[in-house]
Amino acid sequence: MGTRSSRMPWHSGECAPEEPGATGEEEEAEEAVVAERKEGKESEEARPATSQGSHKRKTGPGGPLRKVSSRKHAKDSSGSVYEALFLRGEESDVRIRALGEEWNLHRVHLCQSGYFASMFSGAWWETTMDTIELQMPEENIDREALHEALGSLYRDSMRIPARQVVAILVTASMLQLDDLIQQCGEVMKETVSAQTVCSYYYSAESYGLQNIRSMCLQWLLDNMMTQRSEELLREVSLDLMKEVIASSDHLVMEVEMDVYTMLKKWMFLQLQPTWRGPRTALLSDTDSWFARSRRESGGTPILETEQGRAFVPVFQQLRLAYIIWDLTSARVIQQDALIPVTWLTPVYKEHWLAPL
């Protein structure tokens, strides 16, 4: 027996049978505190809210949370199992060390995790170890999140605060805890907002959680144009903004010119992330900054400058024909000089030839 540092791959496996040395008294003690196992409930489909009086380029499926199969785990409606076995570590047969902390736990509960099930089976040395030291592969996993994830193996459900849900989701993904991943998805569905949607989206994308990613993307498609949050615009990456603007499900409240104005402010905040000011000053400060940049570049359109080229794939998703149709909007486009003339000329030509 001894201690071993464990850096396990993220894949599922079967739990090894109990060690033959276990006594009948120990088995009876375990049976006295472990209640019936029950299948977890399937999650409801996510239904992000949409605004009335708006339109999409086409209707389509949203981003419902896919149904995740649940692993069975110990029923603990009274909390006695959680308190006795997890918090106090009674009858412990394995010690987990990580992040400077120790947990006295039980293989029978840990085997609900695909991560530990693999560890305790096959030829892994940890099968016979009484102390296992885990090396956390992700900086997003902290002691509090690991404590909650391990504790979930000893109770049916837990309250997951929105401020912790990303860290717990990352931890649950590492430990392959399907039930906990599903619970995190439900919390994200209920708490997604302008303040949380990007962190939820990037976490889901990093860990291959397609259902949560789709839910967050649908929220952005439905709500991006109605939000007045500078922080949200700062957090939306180039790739994510391109996906939103390119989607035919993108909800536009009024006209395409509103999309252009939003992109202009977003581009400014991406290039000037330290900007702080009243919300009412954002557009005027954006216009002033771009005007100064245009003068410094000798009149070159921003999207043709070195700092602006990265934004070309996003602005290419604009439906320019819907913008220049309005004379006032066409004049703003010309005055801003963000968009190259080579983009506009074919659109103007098509517009002029249309009545012929």
> Beta partners for 95?
104, 131
CA angle 41, 39, 42 (to 5 degrees): 20
Question: Residue 253: what pLDDT?
Answer: 79
Predicted confidence at residue 351, as pLDDT, reads 74
> Cα(325)–Cα(328) distance, rounded to whole angstroms?
9
- pLDDT tens across 226-274, in order? 988 899 999 999 999 999 999 999 988 779 999 999 999 999 999 999 9
Provide the pLDDT for residue 12.
36
Q: Which pLDDT belongs to residue 225?
A: 92
Euclidean distance between CA atoms 14 and 1, whole angstroms: 22
- What is the model's pTM? 0.72
What's the confidence (pLDDT) of residue 5? 45
Give the pLDDT of residue 101: 92
Output the pLDDT for position 41: 38
Tally of CB atoms within 10 A around 218: 23
Residue 122 to residue 129: CA distance in whole angstroms:
13
pLDDT at 126: 56
Per-residue confidence of the chain (356 residues) as pLDDT tens digits?
Answer: 444 344 444 433 345 444 444 444 444 434 443 333 334 333 344 444 434 445 554 433 333 333 333 344 444 555 788 899 999 989 888 999 999 899 999 999 999 999 898 888 866 555 567 888 888 877 789 999 999 999 999 998 889 999 999 999 999 999 999 999 989 989 999 999 999 999 999 999 988 889 889 999 999 999 999 988 899 999 999 999 999 999 999 988 779 999 999 999 999 999 999 999 999 999 999 999 999 999 998 999 999 999 999 999 999 999 999 998 889 999 999 999 999 999 998 888 887 776 65
Query: Other CB atoms closer than 10 Å to residue 275's CB: what's the count?
Result: 15
Q: What is the pLDDT of residue 292?
A: 94
Can you read off the two tokens belonging to residue 277? 């000011």
Contacts of 103-109 with C-beta under 8 Å, sequence gap 24+, read 103/147, 103/150, 105/150, 105/153, 106/30, 107/15, 107/18, 108/18, 108/30, 108/34, 109/73, 109/74, 109/85, 109/153, 109/154
What does the alpha-carbon distance between residue 303 and residue 340 come to, in Å, rounded to a whole number?
A: 7
Phi-psi region of 305 (alpha: psi -120 to 50; beta: other; left: phi over 0): beta
